[in-house]
Amino acid sequence: MGLRYSSYIECPAAKLEGDNWNSSDTSCLSLYHQASEPRHSQYHIGYHSRHGSDSSTPKFVTYGCRRCRTHLSSSTQIMSKDYRGKTGDAFLMTRVVNVIEGSVETRPMITGDYLVCDILCHWCKSLLGWKYLESERKDQRYKEGKYILEVKTICRCD
């Protein structure tokens, strides 16, 4: 197991002082804090110690492959939990790491035809879901470049 990319799923607790995010410190870049797009004002990053946590701050969940527990994404990347995949419930995610994209195909779905590719865990090659590449309907274009992670293929990595 391990991360394929050198970006953290969550910022290490050592980089956080209380509930304040140091926006001038770019040594801790993650999926949530990119140097090109400062998004720290959109999220309230809270420090959660092992001795308890403040109930007013959200606790982020890291999701991983159910088979090998390779980190894939975080709860902050969930756009919607109201999707269905081949195996049941699924999440629409904005960003996913440590995946391999399969071959491109046109797939008919309830909301129209999409150009998609399956996504596989880079470590164990398990099928996790798919990536929307292109939509033929204009009202469904918001899905382009987004990922579907099926709930039965992922686990919480706490």
Stated pTM of the model? 0.65
CATH code, 63-156:
2.170.150.20
How many Cβ atoms are within 10 Å of 73's Cβ, its own excluded? 25
**pLDDT single digits (tens) 5-54:** 544 455 444 444 444 444 444 444 444 444 334 444 444 444 444 445 55
pLDDT band at 59 (very low <50, low <70, confident <90, very high): confident
Q: How far apart are CA 129 and CA 90, in angstroms?
A: 8
